[in-house]
Structure 1
């Protein structure tokens, strides 16, 4: 029995020392997160683009502009107004967006850059600062992370003391995110210390997740062995403390005692961090899809017999083209988030067009369900606001929630033909586990500041226990 107890001591030290550096990295970066996401988060004048309700009416139809410029095929188009001019935003089959005047059909040089800059100035309400650089970003990086979802985006860097960068998706006239010097530094620190992005650079995403799972397992075993030692030796610890007080001897093992006492107090907190983190990583590993489907379409000029100028013009916010089954349709979004579809050959409206198109896209992205077997059992509901399942981090609204009989929900943004996210049973459970056990959303009733303080105290407790443990190891030497 004595040998077994000594072995527990030995393995607890080994496991604790192995997990020490990761614990320090995770707790310090966890402590920094509220500063990055709440207290030191930069502010911006406008986070949503709201164009004037009455734009400049185009003099030319889409067909006239295409014919004038010799364009026979296109992926999509939009009608936008900026700098007191109306333009057709035409996405070619080479994925390049060109802008043509809706008044005379002339090409606007560097139109996408100009519109991106216009939007960046709108969001910041900064009309005077010089643009230091503007680059088209097609991949995520440390300053524009995958949590922002939107790609490609233009990165507009202003020449300002705060180093403000604005990320803009011109196809939907929306902002991806914005960063100043402070936030950029915090994002880099958090990415390297908390998510260990450097491992993905070394061996890929799967390698990163596997390594993190191993480290989290070591932390769990360290926690478990520590609790076991306390259970085996608590009588001995209590007797030793009583004898020391009775003999009036100096407490030379106070570091060990604090490590045990604080460790017992924060053991539940550490358990919630470890289990929710491990569950999060397991689901990430399960959901890795290296191929990732990309939806594409190509519309021929000959399909556009019905003029876009004949479409209902009341409260139109966006207009685009989509292919549903074997026909092309104008997709018209209004300011009330209603989306209607009109055949480009006849002008006939497609009944329940957005629902039908969402079903088609869901069947494209979700190839596990055969449409003919589940069609009548699939429910489609438009989501106009974020909720617990489809949270703010998903960025895209409105979306159609396509619910399958097995409980899977596929969220489709029909205006971009993109899959916003997929939520299966395990995803739903992991999401709740992560927000309540890892991010302490159970404290949201007290306000974001209190919730952040509680989560920081929890992380600080784990850090203190680890440092006391390390100090005890050094003292034993």
Structure 2
């Protein structure tokens, strides 16, 4: 029995030493997260684009403009107002946006760049700073991470002391994110210390996740062995403390004692961190698949017999084109987030069109899943606000939630024909586990500041226990 106890002690120290550096990296970056995402987060004048109603009515229809410029096919279009002009924003089959005057049909040179700069100045309310650079970004990187979801975006860099960069998606006139110099540094530090992006650069994302899972497992075993040791030796620890106090001897093992006592106090916190992290990594590994196909439509200008100038003009926010079951429709979004559909040939309104289009797109993205019977084709609900299942991390609103009989929810942004996210049984469980056990959303009732302070104290507790454990190991040498 004594040998078994000593072996437990030995393995606990080995596991603790292996986990020491990772724990320090995770806890220090965890301590920095509230500063990055809340307290030191840069501010921007305007986060949402709210254009004023244009006083300039299009003189030419979309079809007229397309015909004038010899465009027989397109992917989509929008109607854009900026710099006191109205333009047709046309996405060609080459996936490039071109801008044509709605007054005379003339092409605006570098129109998408100019509109991106216009939006960036709108969001920052900065009309004077020079634009240091503008780049079309088609992939994520350290400063524009996958959490931002939107691609492609224009990165507009201003020549300012704070080094402000604004990422804008011109197709939807919205902002992806914005970073100043401080946030750029903090993002890089967090990604390297917390999610270990350097491993992905070495061996790919699957390699990174496997290494993280192994290290988290070591941390969990270190926690478990520590609790077992306390249970096996607690009488010995208690007797030693009583004898020391009786003999009035100096406490030479206070480091060991504090490590044990604090370890018991923060053991539940360590358990929630390790279990939620492991679950998160396992689900990510499970969900690694070949790149999902993206939806692409091609419409013919000859199908646009019904003029877009004849569409109901009341409170229109945006207008686009969609193709569903071989038929082209105008997709009209109003200021109240209602989305209507009009046949591009006849002008007839399509009843419940957005729900139909959401089901159509869900069927496209769900092509690899088992076929759904017509009677269980999925219920559709429009989501206008983020919630625990469809959180802020997903960026896109409004979306249609298509729910199937097997518990799958497919969130579709119909205005871009994009899959925002898919939530199934294991995804849902992991999502709740991560936000409540890892990010402490259970404290949201007390406010974000209190929640951040509690999570920081939890991370600090784990860090202190680890440091005391290492100090105890050094004293034993």
Which residue of structure 2 aligns with residue 69 of structure 1? 69
Which residue of structure 1 aligns with residue 202 of structure 2? 202
Which residue of structure 2 aligns with residue 286 of structure 1? 286
| Contact 1:158 1:165 (8 Å CA) reproduced | yes
1:472 aligns with 2:435: no
1:319 aligns with 2:335: no
Q: Residue 255 of structure 1 aligns to a residue in which SS?
A: helix
Q: Residue 28 of structure 1 aligns to a residue in which SS?
A: helix
Cα RMSD (Å): 1.0
Q: Residue 296 of structure 2 aligns to a residue in which SS?
A: coil
Which residue of structure 1 aligns with residue 449 of structure 2? 449
Q: Residue 359 of structure 2 aligns to a residue in which SS?
A: helix
Which residue of structure 1 aligns with residue 458 of structure 2? 458
Which residue of structure 2 aligns with residue 300 of structure 1? 300
Tell me, in whole angstroms, the C-alpha distance in 2 between the residues paired with 1:33 and 1:109. 42
Shift of 1:55: 4.3
Tell me, in whole angstroms, the C-alpha distance in 1 between the residues paired with 2:473 and 2:306. 79
Q: Residue 59 of structure 1 aligns to a residue in which SS?
A: coil
Which residue of structure 2 aligns with residue 266 of structure 1? 266
How many residues are treated as equivalent by the alignment?
477
Which residue of structure 2 aligns with residue 382 of structure 1? 382
Shift of 1:446: 1.3
Q: Residue 134 of structure 1 aligns to a residue in which SS?
A: strand
Shift of 1:70: 0.8
> For structure 1, which segment, 198-207 or 412-421, has the greater mean C-alpha deviation from structure 2 after superposition?
198-207
Q: Residue 70 of structure 2 aligns to a residue in which SS?
A: coil
| Contact 1:36 1:183 (8 Å CA) reproduced | yes
Shift of 1:289: 2.2
Tell me, in whole angstroms, the C-alpha distance in 1 between the residues paired with 2:159 and 2:378. 51
- Counterparts of residues 186-201 of structure 1 (less than 5 Å): 186-201=186-201
Tell me, in whole angstroms, the C-alpha distance in 2 between the residues paired with 1:409 and 1:372. 14
- Counterparts of residues 402-417 of structure 1 (less than 5 Å): 402-417=402-417
Tell me, in whole angstroms, the C-alpha distance in 2 between the residues paired with 1:65 and 1:375. 43
| Contact 1:363 1:371 (8 Å CA) reproduced | no
| Contact 2:383 2:401 (8 Å CA) reproduced | yes
> For structure 1, which segment, 49-58 or 30-39, has the greater mean C-alpha deviation from structure 2 after superposition?
49-58
Shift of 1:376: 3.8
Q: Residue 157 of structure 2 aligns to a residue in which SS?
A: strand
Tell me, in whole angstroms, the C-alpha distance in 1 between the residues paired with 2:185 and 2:377. 49
Which residue of structure 1 aligns with residue 136 of structure 2? 136
Which residue of structure 1 aligns with residue 93 of structure 2? 93
| Contact 2:165 2:179 (8 Å CA) reproduced | yes
Tell me, in whole angstroms, the C-alpha distance in 1 between the residues paired with 2:370 and 2:83. 48
Which residue of structure 1 aligns with residue 237 of structure 2? 237
| Contact 1:163 1:180 (8 Å CA) reproduced | yes
Tell me, in whole angstroms, the C-alpha distance in 1 between the residues paired with 2:376 and 2:241. 71
Shift of 1:282: 1.0
- Counterparts of residues 168-183 of structure 1 (less than 5 Å): 168-183=168-183
Which residue of structure 2 aligns with residue 166 of structure 1? 166
Q: Gaps (5+ residues) in structure 2?
A: none
> For structure 1, which segment, 198-207 or 398-407, has the greater mean C-alpha deviation from structure 2 after superposition?
198-207
Tell me, in whole angstroms, the C-alpha distance in 2 between the residues paired with 1:335 and 1:171. 17
Q: Kindly provide the CA deviation profile for residues 447-477 of structure 1, in whole angstroms up to 9, marking residues without a partner as x.
A: 1111111110100000000011111111111
- Counterparts of residues 17-96 of structure 1 (less than 5 Å): 17-96=17-96
Q: Kindly provide the CA deviation profile for residues 261-282 of structure 1, in whole angstroms up to 9, marking residues without a partner as x.
A: 1111100010000001111111
Q: Kindly provide the CA deviation profile for residues 144-170 of structure 1, in whole angstroms up to 9, marking residues without a partner as x.
A: 111111000000011111111100000
> For structure 1, which segment, 92-101 or 366-375, has the greater mean C-alpha deviation from structure 2 after superposition?
366-375
| Change in CA separation of 1:300 and 1:377 when aligned onto 2, cut-off 3 Å | closer
Tell me, in whole angstroms, the C-alpha distance in 1 between the residues paired with 2:299 and 2:434. 43
In the superposition, the TM-score normalised over structure 1's length comes to 0.99
Shift of 1:77: 0.4
Tell me, in whole angstroms, the C-alpha distance in 2 between the residues paired with 1:142 and 1:57. 42
Shift of 1:293: 1.6
Tell me, in whole angstroms, the C-alpha distance in 1 between the residues paired with 2:320 and 2:371. 26
1:115 aligns with 2:115: yes
Which residue of structure 2 aligns with residue 150 of structure 1? 150
Shift of 1:322: 0.6
Shift of 1:291: 2.2
After TM superposition, what 4+ stretches of structure 1 lie above 6 angstroms from structure 2? none
Tell me, in whole angstroms, the C-alpha distance in 2 between the residues paired with 1:214 and 1:157. 40
Tell me, in whole angstroms, the C-alpha distance in 2 between the residues paired with 1:333 and 1:220. 50
Tell me, in whole angstroms, the C-alpha distance in 2 between the residues paired with 1:97 and 1:476. 68
Q: Residue 373 of structure 2 aligns to a residue in which SS?
A: helix
In the superposition, the TM-score normalised over structure 2's length comes to 0.99
Tell me, in whole angstroms, the C-alpha distance in 1 between the residues paired with 2:474 and 2:215. 22
| Contact 1:5 1:229 (8 Å CA) reproduced | yes
Tell me, in whole angstroms, the C-alpha distance in 1 between the residues paired with 2:267 and 2:101. 65
